[in-house]
Structure 1
Amino acid sequence: MEAKKRGREGRWRVRWWALGLLAPVVWAVVRPAFDDWSAWPGLLVGGVVYAAFLTRRRREEARAVGTEPGRVPELERRIAENGELPEDPAERQAMVRLIRRREEKLRRNRWWALPTLGLLFFGLPFLWFAAGNVPTGLGMLGSGVAFMGWMIWFNRRFVRRMAAVRRRIEGVGGYA
C-alpha cells in the first residue's frame, strides 16, 4: 500500500518543465485582459526563465541540505502539510536542514521583502490614479490588499508549520 502511494506521488511530482509550461499558460490567460496577443514571445521567454530559475533553486537547495533535487519538492510538501515525518533518518536530517535554511532566509530577507511588496502593491495603484485611470487603480489596489493579506497569512502559517515540524523531528530523532 505504501509503495503504491509513493508511486502515485512520484507520478504527480512537479517537474521543472511542467512549471515552465504552466507559467506561460497562466500568463496567457491574464495577459489578453490587458493587451492583445502580440506578447507571445514574452510569454515564451518568461516561461523558460521561470523554469530555469526553479530548476537552479531546487538544485542549490538539494545540494545545501544533502539530498537529490527531486526530493526537495516532496520535503517541502511534507513541511507545508505538516504531515508525516520521513522514515529514513538521513531524510529527516535533510528536512531539518531545509527547514533551518528556509528559516534563515526568512529572517535575513524579512526587513526588505515585505516593505518592497507593500510599495509594489500599494504604490503602483497610485501611479494609475495619478495617470487618471481610476478603475484600473482601484482594481490594482483591491488586488494588492487581497494578495498582501493572503501573503502575510500564508507566510505566518508556513513559519508556524516549519517550526512545528522541526520540533517534532528534533524531539523524535534529536537531530539538533
Structure 2
Amino acid sequence: MESPESGKGTASGDRDWRDRWWVFGLLALVVWVGVRLLLSGLHAWPSALVGGVIYVGWLTWWMRRRRKRDARAVGTDADNVPGMDRRILKGGDVPDDPAEREAMARLVDRRQERLVRNRRWAFPLLAVIFFGTSGLWFAAGSATSGGVMLAAAVVFMSWMVWQHRRTLRRLEDMRRRLAEQPPVRA
C-alpha cells in the first residue's frame, strides 16, 4: 500500500481523505466553534455555530476556487492539486507520466512565484502588526504585555522566515529532481 505522501493514485479516483473539501470544512468548523466556546463560554454556542458555518462556508468556497484556478493554470484536475502539493512539499516521488511531470513542474513554478511575490508585502505587514502591537503596549505603560507581545512577535516572525525558506528549499529540490530524472516512456 502506498503512503499518503507518495501521491500515488492522484490520476485515478483514489483520493486521499485529507484532500476532500468537506474534511477541510469540518475541521475548520470544529476549530472555529471550539475556540469561540473557549473564549466566550458554553452559553455562546448558538452564535459560535452560526458564525462558524458562515466562516467555514466562505473558507471552503475560497479553498475550492483556489484549487480550480491552480488546476486550470497547471493543466490538471482540481482534485489532483492537493496530492501534487503534498508530493512537492513532502519530497514525494517524481511522476513517471510526462503530462503529470509537466503539470507538477508548472505547479512548482506557480508556488515559487507566489511565495516570492507575496513575501514582498506579507513579511513587512506582519512585522508592522506584531511589532507595532508590542510598541503600543509599551506606549500604553504595560511593560508586561508589551514584553510578551514582543517575544511572541520575534518567535512568530522567526518561524515564518524559517517556514518560508524551508518551503522554497523544497520547491527547488522538486524542480531539480524533475529536471534530473527523464520521464519514462511507455
- Choose 1 or 2 for highest CA Rg: 2
What is the number of residues matched between the two proteins?
173
**1:4-153 correspondence runs (5 A):** 6=8, 10-36=15-41, 37=44, 39-40=47-48, 41-130=50-139, 138-153=147-162
Change (3 A) 1:51 1:135: farther
Q: Deviations over 1:41-72 (max 9, x none)?
A: 32221111111111100010001000011110
Q: TM-score, normalised by structure 2?
A: 0.78
Q: Aligned partners of 1:133, 1:44: CA distance in 2, in Å?
A: 37
Q: Aligned partners of 1:58, 1:155: CA distance in 2, in Å?
A: 21
- Quote the sequence identity (%): 46
- Between 76-85 and 31-40, report the one with greater CA deviation: 31-40
Instruction: Name whichever structure is richer in helix by fraction.
Output: 1
Alpha-carbon shift at residue 111 of structure 1 (Å): 1.3
Q: State the secondary structure of the residue aligned to 2:179.
A: helix
Alpha-carbon shift at residue 146 of structure 1 (Å): 2.6
Change (3 A) 1:148 1:28: farther
- Between 142-151 and 95-104, report the one with greater CA deviation: 142-151
Q: Aligned partners of 1:70, 1:109: CA distance in 2, in Å?
A: 25
5+ long unaligned stretches in structure 1: none
- Between 105-114 and 89-98, report the one with greater CA deviation: 105-114
5+ long unaligned stretches in structure 2: none
Larger RCO, structures 1/2 (Cα 8 Å, 6+ apart): 2
Alpha-carbon shift at residue 164 of structure 1 (Å): 1.1
Q: Aligned partners of 2:38, 2:76: CA distance in 1, in Å?
A: 42
Q: TM-score, normalised by structure 1?
A: 0.82
Alpha-carbon shift at residue 129 of structure 1 (Å): 5.0
Q: Aligned partners of 1:122, 1:145: CA distance in 2, in Å?
A: 8
**Aligned alpha-carbon RMSD (Å):** 2.8
The aligned counterpart of 1:158 is 167
